[in-house]
Amino acid sequence: MKPMLSTKFIILSSFFSLLIACSDTNNAREWLLKNDNLYYKNTAVDWRIESVKDCNTCVISQDVVYQPEGISRYNTLMQSQHWVAVHELSKINVIRLKMPDQTPYLYVERVKGQILKLFDQQQNYSIKIGEVTAVNINNQRFSILIKKFEEVDKQSNALPRRASLEFIALKID
């Protein structure tokens, strides 16, 4: 009897583990930040329009911020009223994640060639232009893709500095 009971237990445990793993995988792959854009169910997000193909609960809001350094444009993607991602064209060297309850940020500096440094007072990350990198900001995880970065001011100038920055950030938990 005991071998039969343990066999049933193993089979049921395996079944439930497989079921949970499959459902988690589907949710994790709904949004994916690749080296060129953000994708929803394998379809690229078009940041110029207010909706996402095949996502009835998704809305992209477009915002403009006027600063002394120039105009920054934000495209914030929400799903079921939860912050998912942002695409920004900025005139300063700061990745700002404009979320409903906070705006965490990281500064950006060029190290050499396509290699950049993302940093704040507590942390440093090395990132390459055109490659997705995972970062932690305020105990939250994000995938970040810097598509373009050109410094206008010298690195000896005070932060923030004038720059041309395009990035996408995806919240991953």
Give residue-wise pLDDT tens across range 7-46: 665 554 444 444 444 433 344 479 999 999 999 999 999 9
Cα–Cα distance, 86 to 142 (Å, whole number): 11
The verdict on residue 136 lying in a domain is yes
Residue 19 has a pLDDT of: 41
Q: Are residues 11 and 58 in the same domain?
A: no
Whole-number pLDDT of residue 32: 97
Tell me the CA distances in angstroms from 16 to 10, 25, 122, 166, one per residue in order: 10, 14, 41, 43
Sequence letter at residue 18: L
The answer to whether residues 5 and 78 belong to one domain is no
**Domain-located, residue 120:** yes
CA–CA distance, 100 with 81 (Å, rounded to integer): 10
* The pLDDT of residue 10: 54
Global pTM value: 0.81
- Rounded to 10 degrees, what is the CA torsion of 154, 160, 163, 165? 140
Q: How far apart are CA 167 and CA 154, in angstroms?
A: 21
Question: Do 26 and 87 fall into the same domain?
Answer: no
- Confirm if 44 and 143 have CB atoms less than 8 A apart: no
Judgement on whether residues 81 and 162 belong to the same structural domain of the protein: yes
Which residue range is the domain that position 3 belongs to?
A: 1-33
In a structure prediction context, what are the per-residue pLDDT tens digits for the chain, which is 173 residues long?
A: 555 556 665 554 444 444 444 433 344 479 999 999 999 999 999 999 999 999 999 999 999 999 888 899 999 999 999 999 999 999 999 999 988 888 899 999 999 999 999 999 999 999 999 999 999 988 899 999 999 999 999 999 999 999 999 999 999 97
Q: What is the number of structural domains in the chain?
A: 2
What percentage of the chain carries pLDDT values higher than 70? 84
40 assigned to some structural domain: no
DSSP-derived 3-state class of residue 131:
coil
Token pair in block for residue 66: 């006027």
Residue 18's contacts (CB-CB under 8 Å, 6 or more residues apart) are none
Q: Do 92 and 150 fall within a single domain?
A: yes
